[in-house]
């Protein structure tokens, strides 16, 4: 049922996006590992989210949503620029193992990442490090690291 609501939300967000902004859907591997999406809000901002599984600090369903500032800095390569981005969002993990089994970890997250786009096929490769301060079930700091690929449309 949760997956149904996520798909409906994704479709709704896609319908609201301006034509000049990129949208992308793919996978992220690391902590968390799962489905990743990025939806353009403007030429310089996007909204990124993931539905994944966390396996390190807390084990369980990992959901996050982040507002990104794209193109914070560009690094030139021979083919296309390597774009740096940063953002601010929220992360939620339904903990299903350990002493906090049945609890939900919630807190703000702040990612810093690199994005590389290619045009044929329309793919983007990314790597991200994100610091999160969990507010519940206890105050704690966590670091998530992931790499992934998404198809742009």
Assess contact for 52 and 89: CB atoms under 8 A.
no
The pTM for the full model equals 0.81
CB neighbour list of residue 84: distance below 8 Å, 6 or more residues apart: 71, 72, 73, 74, 75, 112, 113, 114, 115
All domains in the chain, ordered by first residue: 26-152 (2.40.160)
| Peptide bond connecting 21 to the previous residue in cis, omega within 30 degrees of 0 | no
What tens digit of pLDDT does each residue of 55-114 get? 887 899 999 999 999 988 888 777 778 999 999 999 999 998 877 788 999 999 999 999
Sign of the alpha-carbon torsion through 7, 10, 14, 20: negative
What tens digit of pLDDT does each residue of 12-59 get? 555 554 445 689 999 999 999 999 999 999 989 999 999 999 988 789
What tens digit of pLDDT does each residue of 124-147 get? 999 999 999 999 999 999 999 999
């Amino acid at each position: 049922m949760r997956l149904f609501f996520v798909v409906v939300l994704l479709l709704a967000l896609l319908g609201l996006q301006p034509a000049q902004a990129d949208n992308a859907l793919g996978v992220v591997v690391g902590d968390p590992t799962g489905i990743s999406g990025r939806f353009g809000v403007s030429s310089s901002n996007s909204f990124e989210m993931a539905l994944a599984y966390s396996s390190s600090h807390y084990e369980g369903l990992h959901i996050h949503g982040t507002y990104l500032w794209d193109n914070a800095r560009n690094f030139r390569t021979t083919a296309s620029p390597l774009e740096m981005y940063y953002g601010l969002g929220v992360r939620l993990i339904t903990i299903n193992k350990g002493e906090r089994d049945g609890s939900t970890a919630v807190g703000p997250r702040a990612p810093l990442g690199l994005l590389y786009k290619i045009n044929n096929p329309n793919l983007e490769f990314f790597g991200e490090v994100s610091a999160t301060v969990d507010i519940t079930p206890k105050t704690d700091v966590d670091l998530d690291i992931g790499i992934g690929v998404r198809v742009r449309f």
